[in-house]
Amino acid sequence: MNKLYLGAIVAAVLMLIATYVSFDFKHGSSDIVNQIAILGAVVLVIATIFVVVKYVRQMQTDTATGELMSDNWDGVGEYNNPVPTGWAIVFALTMIWGMWYYLIGYPVNAYSQIGEYNEDTKVFNDKFEKEYKNVTGDKLVEMGESVYLSNCIACHGLNADGIEGQASDLNVRLEKSVIKHAIINGSNNHLLGSEMPMPDRNGLMNANNNYAPITDAEIDLVSSYVANGMSGAGADVFAGTCAMCHGEDGKGLEATAPNIASFDAALVINVIDNGKKGAIGTMPKFDVLNKKQKEAVAAYVQSISK
Amino acid sequence: MFHWLEKNPFLFAVGVFLVIAFAGLITLLPSFAQASRPVIGTTPYSTLELAGRHVYIKNSCNACHSQLVRPFKSETDRYGDYSLSGEYAYDRPFLWGSKRTGPDLHRVGNYRTTKWHENHMMDPKALVPGSIMPGYKWMFTNLVDIDTAYAEQITIESFFGVPYNKPVPMKDGTTKIVKMGKTLNEANSLALAEAKLVAADMKNQNVKDMIAKGQIPEIVAIIAYMNSLK
């Protein structure tokens, strides 16, 4: 037995002892995972020693044979041996795979974040379309309420009262102060596709048809009339001054003036689409909502307003 | 054929580096440059908006609010279109943020108004009952630092070529010019003119009085900034 084998056995024994010492047999030996780990450690020690001994022996005994190639680098040369067959096959296959991966396989067109987003959105929209196509009545109101709670509540509030003047009170169609503001300052929201703005007080004739502008008293009277739900005193002023555009019943005329007697779907959807600027302030448009959601909000607003 | 290369290992290493570096540059740079170019409709910040941005940073708004709408259906439903890298072209630094304690603010200008911000910054719970955001009352009295904003404008205009006083293309095909003062006085008067427009939609009498005296409180600047986030 020569020195190499002796050294190998000593090293193996030392490593096994180190493994034994470092492993807590008292607590760990019952666990199957620990048993596998310790077995693996033993196998690893033996395999390492075996491989090292093999190659050291080979270095000691092997002699180089074969024909040298003509090149050499500072005395270091290469044998002109044939390429091992197995290696050559794998090499060729790797080249072919590499070409495939470079030209076809690389997932540059296979995935994009935006593409996934578009697909997700399409799937969702299709599903939404299918599921809620024929939603009407209470279901639509319920849907409108959920949209309201997620989008409108920040300004119009949980009770739809507009949080103390933050936004318009949706429980009523129009508050008196809002009506007065519109009559005095006019209104130019281009709702309902109309390009014709409502004129300010100088452009509104008074009810007596004598070509004089509307008076303060009349403004006050007609504002109360509209705010009271088209009832009480002031009907004559409304009929003389407002009815031409807003209709005799205040329900508005198509492409001319909006409904001021009650909320209707066309009006609510219009405001959601375009936003508006009025007595209370500016409402931004909410065009992230889809068509059905807008209809639903309109239904909900109609359901809560008196 | 290439033995002369193998005999000069240093030269060989330099050559390999150059080839790989060049390949990297021509694959990476064009798409990077394309993506970081301003998106049409993105405009530089005006003096007041930039001052508001400084207020935003000073109060660490970005610790709780992100400014990046990710391309997910749930996010675009809530905040609007997903963000594009070119939209941050004039943000130095960008304020993407990494944590959403509050909602994303990248498009807050689309769905909140001056008036709403005014009430909300004073007392968030009055508008959003469950909110954990504190009120920022001092913004209604603290004066905003226009000097620093103007200094930043000069720097980014001369160093990065940010197009102040030049037409910038907008989404509807028109162009818009964001003005920058030639002197500090001019910058101050431009900022004040813009602040007057914002304050016209506000209710707080103290703020209105300050504006009338030519002073700009922080709240006006930060609202101008948030309104510009679209």
Identify the CATH number of the domain in which residue B113 sits.
Answer: 1.10.760.10
ipTM higher than the 0.90 cut:
no
- Which of A74, A128, A147, A166 is the best residue to mutate to test the B interface, defined by the most B CB atoms within 10 Å of its own CB? A166
Residues B155 and B75: their CA atoms lie apart, in Å, by: 35
Chain B residues in contact with A281 (beta carbon < 8 A): 113-115, 201
Chain B residues in contact with A283 (beta carbon < 8 A): 113
* pLDDT score recorded for residue B56: 95
In a domain, residue A238? The reply is yes
Question: Per the CB < 8 Å rule, is B113 touching A284?
Answer: yes
In a domain, residue A75? The reply is no
Nearest CA in chain B to A73: B7
- Which of B77, B106, B117, B204 is the best residue to mutate to test the A interface, defined by the most A CB atoms within 10 Å of its own CB? B77
For residues B127 and B24, state if they share a domain.
no
| pLDDT value at A238 more than 60 | yes
| pLDDT value at A193 more than 90 | no
For residues A167 and A289, state if they share a domain.
yes
For residues A296 and A160, state if they share a domain.
yes
Intervals of chain B under pLDDT 50: none
For residues B28 and B52, state if they share a domain.
no
For residues B144 and B173, state if they share a domain.
yes
For residues B29 and B56, state if they share a domain.
no
In a domain, residue A103? The reply is no
In a domain, residue A129? The reply is no
* pLDDT score recorded for residue A237: 81
Residue B19, chain A, CB below 8 Å: the answer is: no
In a domain, residue B41? The reply is no
Q: Kind of pairing, strands A68-73 and A76-79?
A: antiparallel
* pLDDT score recorded for residue B163: 93
Question: Per the CB < 8 Å rule, is A284 touching B110?
Answer: yes
In a domain, residue A104? The reply is no
Question: Per the CB < 8 Å rule, is A163 touching B72?
Answer: no
| pLDDT value at A88 more than 80 | yes
In a domain, residue B112? The reply is yes
Question: Per the CB < 8 Å rule, is B113 touching A124?
Answer: no
For chain B, the domain total comes to 2
- Identify residue B219 by its one-letter amino acid code: I
Q: Round the average pLDDT of chain A to a whole number and report it.
A: 84
In a domain, residue B137? The reply is yes
For chain A, the domain total comes to 2
Three-state DSSP at B177 gives: strand
In a domain, residue A278? The reply is yes
* pLDDT score recorded for residue B207: 92
For residues B53 and B19, state if they share a domain.
no
Residue A150, chain B, CB below 8 Å: the answer is: yes
* pLDDT score recorded for residue A63: 83
For residues A30 and A145, state if they share a domain.
no
Residue ranges making up the domain that contains B9 = 3-36
Query: How sure is the predictor about A220, in pLDDT bands with cuts at 50, 70 and 90?
Result: confident
Nearest CA in chain B to A115: B71
Question: Per the CB < 8 Å rule, is A120 touching B115?
Answer: no
Nearest CA in chain B to A152: B111
| pLDDT value at A159 more than 90 | no
* pLDDT score recorded for residue A31: 77
For residues A266 and A143, state if they share a domain.
yes
Residue A235, chain B, CB below 8 Å: the answer is: no
In a domain, residue A121? The reply is no
CB B229 within 8 A of CB B109: yes
For residues B17 and B93, state if they share a domain.
no
Residue ranges making up the domain that contains A196 = 137-304
Question: Per the CB < 8 Å rule, is A284 touching B115?
Answer: no
For residues A144 and A246, state if they share a domain.
yes
In a domain, residue B42? The reply is no
For residues A152 and A286, state if they share a domain.
yes
pTM: 0.74
Chain A residues in contact with B127 (beta carbon < 8 A): 154-155, 157, 163, 166
Chain B residues in contact with A155 (beta carbon < 8 A): 113, 116, 127
| pLDDT value at A203 more than 80 | no
Query: How sure is the predictor about A109, in pLDDT bands with cuts at 50, 70 and 90?
Result: low
Q: What is the pLDDT of residues B159-212, one digit of tens each?
A: 999 999 999 999 888 999 999 999 999 999 999 999 999 999 888 899 999 999
In a domain, residue A229? The reply is yes
Question: Per the CB < 8 Å rule, is B112 touching A73?
Answer: no
For residues B10 and B53, state if they share a domain.
no
Cα distance from A176 to chain B (closest Cα, Å)?
20
| pLDDT value at A111 more than 80 | no
